[in-house]
Structure 1
Amino acid sequence: MIVRHFLTWAQTASAAQRAEGAGDMARTYLYGDLDTAERRQVEIALMSLAEDPSPLVRRALADNFASAIDAPRALVSALACDQSAIAGPVLSRSPLLSEAELVDCVAIGDATAQTAIALRARVPHGVCAALAEIGARDACVALAVNPGADILDFSLRRMVARFGDDGDMREALLSRPALPASVRSALVGAVAESLSAFVINCGWLSHERADRLLREERDKANVLIVTEAAEYDGRQGVRELVAHLRACGHLTSSLVLRALLSGNRDLFEASLVELSGLNDDKVAALIDDFRGAGFAAAYLRAGLPEKFLPAFRAALSAQREYGHVGSPDPRLSLVMVERVITACESMNEGQLDMLLALLRRFEREAALEEARAETARITQEATAPDVAPPTTFSGVTASGPLIDLVAFEAELMAA
């Protein structure tokens, strides 16, 4: 009887009155002492209000039922498909919406509705995949900063592929803890390509020079990422990164040689495993005996350039002599580069000219880095206070090194 009176009254009440009445009816359903028949009648009344022409009424329903576990299931589903101003609270909080329903709402919703879904306390990986594939830019940024989002690696890379040139997107992704190495590499590639296109369009660099600069800066960043992956994710992290680099065409002989000349053997070892199909232990043993025929066979089986073989052997020899460099900011070792240049020049009869040109570029880069480091050290010593600073600091430390994309952009622009 009460429900009948309510529906009759709603025919002539104003929108504001109906919205207030809808809120009262919703609270009665959730918290009132109703028997089964009365509860069913109230539910029918609420469903009729879900089609009320006034958004105020439907929003009142959404606000009251957004977080309710006992809300009418059909009503919640109807509100979730309403306009985003009404659906937002339900999409962002309702525990009744299934993963399949959320994916469907991503497909039909606008940026506001998608953002509400992206900011849920827990976002399943299927919903994350849908947002990464078709979500608006704002929704993807919101998803990236949400610690409750279960975003798989391929979805992260898809977000980079779609919005990698957006600074907010990169910052949001880099704020995620334990960001996979393959995603960091994809971010670096997106920044490099965006800046390369910018300087070419401005006429500051030729296509050829910009392409070379793009490759070199990307390779430098990937060597750093490999070092981080080895430190935090172990051998599996390096293997996954190498597989990603191979898939996107960035696993080049110059990158692998650069890693060796930076004192990092992990990338070379993982690359031989990935390209040759041999297991980890077999490849490690062959690299230890890098002067043997077995190493040469594995090297050629991996498809690496035969004319580069002397350089790789000289690099491994220099690495054995000067030790494995494992700093979190690996740079080309000038002494190792010079050692490889000397070895290649002694056997060059014209076939190694291109290789020597690459090594000379490595030598120039290493010498410049060494000069910068020495200049900074001398300047710091000259301006250092007489009182030595404390040797320890009890403040909060970072969880691990991250790629500084701002510095990367600045370096690329300066070049």
Structure 2
Amino acid sequence: MTAVRARLTEFDIRRLIKASDDDDRAAAAHKLCRSMERVDLTAEDREAAQKILRLLAEDAAELVRRALAVTLKSSDLLPRDVARKLAMDVDSIALPIIGSSPVFSDEDLIEIVRAGSIARQAAVAARPSVPRDVAEVIAAEAGEAAVRTLASNDNADLSERAMGRAIDRFGSAPEVVAALAYRQVLPLGITERLVALASEAVREHLVSRHAVAPETAIRLATYARERATVDLIDEAPAGADLATFVAQLNARKALTASLLLRALARGKMALFEHGVAELASTPHSRAWLMVHDAGPLGLKAIYDRAGLPPRLFQAFRAGVDTWRQLTAEGGDLSGETFRERMLERFLTQRPNAPRDDVAYLMERLDQAPQGPVRIQAANAA
């Protein structure tokens, strides 16, 4: 049997050398490589075979080099120097080797990632096994497609630090977030971060599959919905039917105290008025009179009738007072400058509410940019 295999190999070598047509030589190279892979080679035979493989890697014909790369992409027979050479070839030759060859060291793979080709970075990320050090470099330096591929690869040794780096860089990319969320194992800290970024379907998967407190998921999901609602109000035309809008919110149980407080802190008085009118089952005209009653009782009466939390009344009171002060000073009430001034003053009112409740409000309100410009604007106001 060995003699038959030896003759076959010798015949294919002669065919490879003599053939002038690229297709014939590629076919001979493929058959030769398969023959080498299938037989048990002695140390001497292995050394001879690897010399032949080095010659094939130098062949001028791309088809011959591709035959070598595809046939022996998963073989440890391929010398490391040949694998490195093929990894620098054109994509049709390099990608099979990069994606499968077991002869690369971690340093080789990191070098490939840092060379900057997105396709080759993704090929490293999709390997049957991705060592931790290699995964760290992909998460920190590779392009989005490679990071998404890495996150999808449960055979990649992804540390919590690497996952966190991927979220830092691509937390706004839904496909990366989903790929991380569907990994078999996730640290608690990563799960908590993903819950805040994921779509509703992915969030449900995280809560059911991983160790995340349901109240955390509910809080973050509610925050995302409320922020989107206020953003929608910001973009709505002046003639938008707020009465219908808040009625729809109420029907979906989304007309919450934190939403109304955020809207009020952003200067959206009309939304607050229509919101309390809806919750109190009171005409908007009557709610308007009670909200803007100069006395101490009107706002409290409509607030209580709306069923809003008593412990937060002073915060709403501070919001209404702030809005009234700014409108009395005049100026454009519709622009971003007004909303920033409104939020800045509201947050400095220090409403008389329990510390835990104030902390809750600060967390739930939109985070306004901080810095010297904002502080100067507030002082000028």
In the superposition, the TM-score normalised over structure 2's length comes to 0.49
Scaled by the length of structure 1, what TM-score is found?
A: 0.46
- Quick check: which has more Rg, 1 or 2? 2
